[in-house]
Amino acid sequence: MGGFLVWYSLSGMDKDKMIGYVKSANYGWIILGLFFGVLSHLSRAYRWKFLLQPMGYKPDFGNSTMAVIIAYLVNLAVPRAGEVSRALVMTNYEDIPFEKGFGTIVAERMADLLMMLIVIAITLFVQFDFIYNLLTKNFNPVKIIILLAGLIVGFLIFTRYVKKANSGIGLKIKNFVNGLIEGATSIFKMENKWAFIFHTVFIWVMYVAMFWVTIPSIEGLKVPFGAVLIGFIAGGFSIAATNGGIGLYPIAVAGAFMLFGVEKDPSEAFGWIMWTAQTLMIVVFGGLAFLLLPIYNKAK
């Protein structure tokens, strides 16, 4: 899928113009954007300790940071597998039970989902007409209701099975789910709730800042604030839908910009430069983390 999307995106581009945009790009803005990205990763690693401390775990910041970066790298290969690898790293090097570590990651994702909804709400306020038309044009209310009903019924059946289990695989599932619940609810037991909230907001401010400050790197690219927010959201969904947004990220971002009358060529160039910069950062730092993690812990 990613390969097809890359081909689809590049096939409709003027290659000479694209090369020209890459050569003329102001890489100072790109580096500044990557700096904001690094700050978001460090803040995420530091925030994690607030969820683990109520369960009696005090992970090393170096291990937490490398676990977070490795998770991003793994997600490039297998979507959502990064969360599993992140919990496994802490199990191996910090003796944190997998289900509890994974549960705290679920809690983090709940906080991140809330922040994404806040960004969407701000965007809805700024560009209400666009969001309304987008939703009514692309989503069938009947299908959404059927899907939600199916999920609710399946959840109720699963919950009843787990609660009654006293042995075998059912008991293992119950213990695993209980560990997940303990990890996920740790957010309500934190002594440093405000510090957690601060880092959560900071992470997302850095995400938006990374996206925003990279726009001036493309000469002549003028993007209104509403398009910045919608482009950021479109890019975020593309990353969730594919392996790190490969092929889809430039298409999604350029499509969002073009809805506001921004020219196609610089929009596509920005999407590719933004995605490439993020991906290279993850590959480089994630690869280093893979190499340094055993060395770092052996030194400890």
Q: For residue 34, is it within any domain?
A: yes
What mean pLDDT is predicted for residues 160-169?
71
Say which residue, 178 or 242, is predicted with more confidence.
242
Please count the structural domains in the chain.
1
pLDDT, average across residues 13-20: 71
Supply the DSSP string of 203-243, one letter for each residue: HHHHHHHHHHHHGGGSTT----HHHHHHHHHHHHHHHHHTT
**Separation of alpha carbons 244 and 106, rounded Å:** 19
pLDDT at residue 80, as a whole number: 75
- CB 270 within 8 Å of CB 16: no
* Cα separations in angstroms, 57 against 51, 52, 260: 9, 5, 49
Residue 166 clears pLDDT 90, i.e. is over it? no
Does residue 135 register a pLDDT over 70? no
Q: Is 299 part of a structural domain of the chain?
A: no
Average pLDDT over residues 79-100: 87
pLDDT at 131: 60
H-only helix segments in 127-192 = 128-138, 141-164, 168-184
Average pLDDT of the chain is 82
Name every residue whose Cβ is closer than 8 Å to that of residue 172 and which is 6 or more positions away in sequence. Answer: none
Please give the residue range of the domain that contains residue 89: 2-294
Burial per residue of 252-261, b for 16 or more beta-carbon CB atoms within 10 angstroms, e otherwise: bbbbbbebbe
Report the chain's terminal Cα–Cα distance, integer Å. 42
User: Is position 286 within any domain?
Assistant: yes
For residue 300, being part of any structural domain is answered with: no
Whether residue 3 is predicted with pLDDT greater than 70 in this model: the reply is no
For 107, the token pair is 């809690």
Give residue-wise pLDDT tens across range 220-267: 788 888 888 888 988 888 887 777 777 788 888 888 888 888 888 888
- Residue 281 reports pLDDT greater than 90: yes
Cβ neighbours around 218 below 10 Å, total? 25
Region 196-205 average pLDDT? 92
